[in-house]
Structure 1
Amino acid sequence: MSKGTIKKVAGPLVIAEGMRDANMFDVVRVSGQRLIGEIIEIHGDEASIQVYEETSGLGPGEPVESTGVPMSVELGPGLISNIYDGIQRPLEEIRAKIGNSLARGVEVPSLDREKKWHFTPVVRQGDAIVAGDVIGTVQETEIVLHKIMVPVGVVGTIKSIEEGDYNITETVAVIETANGTEQPLTLMQRWPVRRGRPYKEKLSPDMPLVTGQRVIDALFPIAKGGVAAVPGPFGSGKTVIQHQLAKWAEADIVVYIGCGERGNEMTDVLNEFPELKDPKTGRSLMERTVLIANTSDMPVAAREASIYTGITIAEYFRDMGYSVALMADSTSRWAEALREMSGRLEEMPGEEGYPAYLGSRLAQFYERAGRVITLGSEGREGSLSAIGAVSPPGGDISEPVSQATLRIVKVFWSLDAQLAYQRHFPAINWLTSYSLYTDTTEKWFNENVAAEWSSLRQRMMLLLQEESELQEIVQLVGMDALSAPDRIKLEAARSIREDFLHQNSFHDVDTYTPLPKQFTMMKLVLDYYDAAVGGLSKGIPVDSLVNLPVREQIGRFKYILPDQIGPEYESIQRELASEIAELAAKQKEEF
């Protein structure tokens, strides 16, 4: 164990001398208050330490002690429904111990050492096991079955294993390794946060992560194990979109990282998540959620660590074979913490003062997402989808964090303040957003929803793009300058925007739209467009086609319950055909 003394203090950065035996990324305890920190740079016998707690009052000569291990998280039963800070200190436990203010030097274990969990073995004495194999299960919440896995690097045979109630530090099984040594296993394991957990094989991202949000699933889908960015200015709805995805995405586990967000926003999350009902089970969403709260007034160094803490916990549940959705809100605040630490280290600044390694650090984070075959003899399939919010100053996505993120992620949901001001939610701009998973997931949609899915999507996108071009003409010379077919295009695009893309997250039915209903809604809007174009060829005036009474029913279709979709669709189809035929007959009589 390396021991040294403080030489210099610069905010959250402490320079310690006499640390020649320490290693990069070792966790250290600073001063007599035992503040937690991490070595991020070494020069000779001097170590630069980022301290995860307030450093006021520290001075030269105070002791520094290395623990000899890297920054790690505790993984085991008790993670779900817990609320941690950026370095996995349980905030509820700390409050119970010392009150509402987060004191310095407080040492509370991440997982409860006293609570007993009922362990049910799934292997027997004499069974051969390898790293990643499940040896037993613990029912952590009513929703989540926690699988106890053999730690990485352990191979052998089960010497003893027994069902019973254990705390996380008690031995539940003993493994005899190949060289004859005995390895006790507990319910808990540790893992360094800056190192990705290993897996057998990474799979192609060809299955969509169904979210029930129409603009996402239909136009800009994200794959299971995919990565997405949600950049947008203040008030454009980043947090609401992340809440919707946390609640409705087809994920077994949700990890939500509040990274440098305002305290009142984080309070909203902490208050709302326990009240949100999981639509699959009817129970609280917290029963399958881990929250990491690192508000903007907390030490800046802990903010830098928070996203690594979150993604390591997410990888652990992925290794159990679960589909995990990770929300990072927001990576811009994380990058600001990186910039502050880089400045204190006196590193050469890059663009706008961010460190030159900003892009590679972001890539290291996002590349840990993916759909994989996990370690273990049975090879479970698990996925980790990462969705990062970006908060560019003034909504300008040409700034470095947004640009570095866009080079890495494959889905870009561009939030538009103008749409938000028009009360169009989700305020995802359909002209500037994109998804590179559209092609890889196309086959899945065509096979599992409807063969026409991709063709309808392409037609809708084309209409929206043509509307944008026509709007420029309208603004210059007015609506009367447009031809009748162009007027119909504008009306069809308006119907796509208002009747399909606009979605009310506070409406019981409209908040979530299953894929078959999304397909039917796309079909209805395009059926109207095709019928109107056909009506023009029969000489029906464009104003009559724009004001068809059936359009009101098409607009209300989003509020139809899933079991009424078929009959209602057929009813609207009949009504549409009837009204077009009536107008055509009337036109024929006039001529």
Structure 2
Amino acid sequence: MADAIISRITGPVVVAKDIEGAHMFDVVRIGEMGLMGEIIRLEGNTAQIQVYEDTTGLKPGEKVINTNRPLSLQLGPGLLTSIYDGIQRPLDVLAAESGDFISRGKIIPALDQKKKWEFIPVKKNGDQVSPGEIIAEVQETPLIKHKIMVPYNVSGELVDISEGQFTVNDKIAAVKNSKTTDIGLSSWWTVRIPRPVLRKLAPDQPLLTGQRVLDTFFPVAKGGSAAIPGPFGSGKTVTQQQLAKWADSEIIVYIGCGERGNEMCEVLTQFPKLIDPKSKRPLMERTILVANTSNMPVAAREASIYTGITMGEYYRDMGYGVALMADSTSRWAEALREISGRLEEMPGEEGYPAYLGRRLAEFYERGGRCIVISPEEREGSLSIVGAVSPPGGDFSEPVSQNTLRVTRVFWGLDANLANRRHFPAINWLTSYSLYMDDMADWYKSNVSKDWIDLRKEALEILQKESELQEIVQLVGYDALPEPEKGILDTARSIREDYLQQSAFDEVDTYTSIQKQHKMLSTILEFGRKEADVIKKGSTSAKVGALESRGMIPKMKWTKEEELEKLLNDINSKMKQEFDSLSKESSN
């Protein structure tokens, strides 16, 4: 049999001829340096391969070796706290071995092959086990117990299991049926095939983030999907980093997919220093970072999305809530466009491949809150937040439009809000959440029965403000009737005292859902009282001068345990001052 050899090289795509017995998506090693690539088209014995490394220096005639295995990840203890590139190479280990620049063709195991983990069985020899069943636990980090599960296609009698210390490649048990299947401390999974689940659950629980504009107006469900498109400088990355820090999930997977090196560098240097607000432990103890910057080979961008979501599914199957941040799917789509062009495929809109929408749908559909395969019907969730970087902030471009077709939450970032230093710069008039009706019962049971009404009232006031602003631009603020001035005052309070939130302030960076309810209730109650005294003849100028009005902005800077005292003071002062204004107006 002739060896497969390179016949043509076009950028990140290499054409190999005489490749026998190959399958789509097999991983191959190319040339003398052993560059890693993946077969993306087969025509007889000729394969087109996307190469995950720089192809400079390759020449026709060099050997191509097929590994006969698709792109797969080693999944086991040690994933958490790690920083990987798009094909699961540990960047810190690579840096230690080859310096700051990765040597081409260098393949390093994703998990530490020598480290021994304390293995604690929760099942014993002789137990009957079935697919997905947890047979042991490993304390991966002080925050997370790593669950060792029976593979999906294996069931029978558990044998050869015992407590001890093992490496990720050691056999830790076996399952005996018609044949004996060994179980290791780690397992392998193909990145392009979703891990199966028993059934998906309704998205009726919110993924709380502590960000007021998101939790109150445009919440995403646990296991839901959200798109956060916005132009350059509008705050996509900061918003995603806030979600990674504060989202109500046990595991965070952050994928930097083709973003600029300085943004990814900030993530890599900042995350190891962050403290988890719940446990007071380092946040990295429950985080995996996948770093693939814009100057890395374009093909690796495409792989990085699948690498991240496969690791997310793995922890979801253990019963954890996982939040995955992809920053940004536009760069991933650009990788698809370039590879498609190299393959000379018929282009779709704006040069993107015609299958862009299908690929995006396949990615987002891998999320969900579900019952995973296990005898005890274990529940896990995988929530996906994908940033989109439309050129010039044009949301009509293909990546934004195809993303909005498959996601149920749209957090539209607005360059005008960002220019006014209003952050998060999420436009409350264009954004939406289609999960609100599904989660209404949860809010009524866990927050307050009037939560949905408060949210609706606040959004209506902001909508009226938008309509009145057009009139103000024509005739000026002073020409407005007093009731309309009152609406503008309340809307300004909602914007400045509630929606505007500082990611860099120790108190304001996170607001619990209970505090959000108290803050919004107070602002809207003030607005109602203002409307009432204006009807009786008072003016918005007099209301604006009240001491209680000046106390409202203090709410977001006040710690949770001190908030009740401030609210009592505000309500007491509000009653006193509005009673006085009512009497004055009556006289």
TM surpasses 0.5: yes
Q: Secondary structure at the match of 2:441?
A: helix
What is the aligned partner in structure 2 of residue 141 from structure 1? 141
What is the aligned partner in structure 2 of residue 416 from structure 1? 414
CA distance in 1, matches of 2:24, 2:539: 75
Q: Which runs of 4+ in 1 moved over 6 A?
A: none
CA distance in 2, matches of 1:29, 1:61: 14
**Conservation of the 8 A alpha-carbon contact between 2:226 and 2:411:** yes
What is the aligned partner in structure 2 of residue 293 from structure 1? 291
1:153-552 aligned at under 5 Å gives the runs: 153-177=153-177, 179=178, 181-552=179-550
**Conservation of the 8 A alpha-carbon contact between 2:257 and 2:331:** yes
**Offset from partner CA, 1:404-433 (integer Å, 9 cap, x none):** 111111111011111111111111010011
For residue 578 of structure 1, the aligned residue among 559, 563, 576 is: 576
**Conservation of the 8 A alpha-carbon contact between 1:168 and 1:187:** yes
CA distance in 1, matches of 2:369, 2:583: 57
CA distance in 2, matches of 1:537, 1:5: 85
Counterpart amino acid of 1:53? E
Counterpart amino acid of 2:243? L
**Conservation of the 8 A alpha-carbon contact between 2:71 and 2:190:** yes
> TM-score, normalization: structure 1?
0.98
Quote how far apart the aligned CAs of 1:141 are: 0.7
Structure 1 stretch displaced more, 295-304 or 306-315? 295-304
CA distance in 2, matches of 1:128, 1:451: 47
**Offset from partner CA, 1:31-52 (integer Å, 9 cap, x none):** 1211111000011211110011
**Conservation of the 8 A alpha-carbon contact between 1:2 and 1:22:** no
Q: Secondary structure at the match of 1:586?
A: helix
Quote how far apart the aligned CAs of 1:3 are: 4.6
CA distance in 2, matches of 1:426, 1:541: 32
Q: Secondary structure at the match of 2:406?
A: coil
Quote how far apart the aligned CAs of 1:537 are: 2.6
Percent of paired sites with the same residue:
56
Quote how far apart the aligned CAs of 1:465 are: 0.3
**Conservation of the 8 A alpha-carbon contact between 2:533 and 2:585:** no
CA distance in 2, matches of 1:584, 1:259: 59
Counterpart amino acid of 1:386? I
CA distance in 2, matches of 1:50, 1:564: 58
CA distance in 2, matches of 1:582, 1:95: 70
Counterpart amino acid of 1:266? M
Quote how far apart the aligned CAs of 1:438 are: 1.1
**Conservation of the 8 A alpha-carbon contact between 1:50 and 1:301:** yes
Structure 1 stretch displaced more, 474-483 or 515-524? 474-483
1:14 aligns with 2:14: yes
Structure 1 unaligned segments of length 5 or more: list them.
none
Q: Secondary structure at the match of 1:104?
A: coil
Q: Secondary structure at the match of 1:161?
A: coil
Q: Secondary structure at the match of 2:146?
A: strand
Quote how far apart the aligned CAs of 1:2 are: 9.4
**Offset from partner CA, 1:475-508 (integer Å, 9 cap, x none):** 0111123211111111000000001101111111
Q: Secondary structure at the match of 2:324?
A: strand
**Offset from partner CA, 1:376-406 (integer Å, 9 cap, x none):** 1111110000001111111111111111111
**Conservation of the 8 A alpha-carbon contact between 1:73 and 1:191:** yes
What is the aligned partner in structure 2 of residue 44 from structure 1? 44
**Conservation of the 8 A alpha-carbon contact between 2:547 and 2:573:** no
1:77-96 aligned at under 5 Å gives the runs: 77-96=77-96
Quote how far apart the aligned CAs of 1:88 are: 0.4
CA distance in 2, matches of 1:432, 1:57: 49
Q: Secondary structure at the match of 1:260?
A: strand
What is the aligned partner in structure 2 of residue 25 from structure 1? 25
CA distance in 2, matches of 1:59, 1:525: 69
Quote how far apart the aligned CAs of 1:587 are: 3.1
**Conservation of the 8 A alpha-carbon contact between 2:543 and 2:549:** no
Quote how far apart the aligned CAs of 1:581 are: 1.2
CA distance in 2, matches of 1:534, 1:511: 34
Cα 1:3–1:324 change in 2 (3 A) is: farther
CA distance in 2, matches of 1:96, 1:187: 26
CA distance in 2, matches of 1:71, 1:428: 37
CA distance in 1, matches of 2:529, 2:503: 31
Counterpart amino acid of 2:122? V
What is the aligned partner in structure 2 of residue 101 from structure 1? 101
CA distance in 1, matches of 2:424, 2:248: 19
**Conservation of the 8 A alpha-carbon contact between 1:254 and 1:325:** yes
**Offset from partner CA, 1:299-318 (integer Å, 9 cap, x none):** 11111110000000000000
CA distance in 2, matches of 1:167, 1:543: 72
**Conservation of the 8 A alpha-carbon contact between 2:483 and 2:535:** no
Quote how far apart the aligned CAs of 1:20 are: 4.1
CA distance in 2, matches of 1:185, 1:53: 33
**Conservation of the 8 A alpha-carbon contact between 2:423 and 2:502:** yes
Quote how far apart the aligned CAs of 1:291 are: 0.4
**Conservation of the 8 A alpha-carbon contact between 1:258 and 1:294:** yes
**Conservation of the 8 A alpha-carbon contact between 2:26 and 2:39:** yes
**Offset from partner CA, 1:51-107 (integer Å, 9 cap, x none):** 111111111111111111111111000100101000001111111111111111112
Structure 2 unaligned segments of length 5 or more: list them.
none
Q: Secondary structure at the match of 1:407?
A: helix
Quote how far apart the aligned CAs of 1:574 are: 1.5
**Offset from partner CA, 1:431-451 (integer Å, 9 cap, x none):** 011111111111101110000
Counterpart amino acid of 2:348? G
Quote how far apart the aligned CAs of 1:565 are: 2.6
**Offset from partner CA, 1:239-264 (integer Å, 9 cap, x none):** 11111100110010000000001111
CA distance in 1, matches of 2:336, 2:255: 16
CA distance in 1, matches of 2:565, 2:437: 32
Quote how far apart the aligned CAs of 1:567 are: 2.9
Counterpart amino acid of 1:325? A
CA distance in 2, matches of 1:107, 1:580: 71
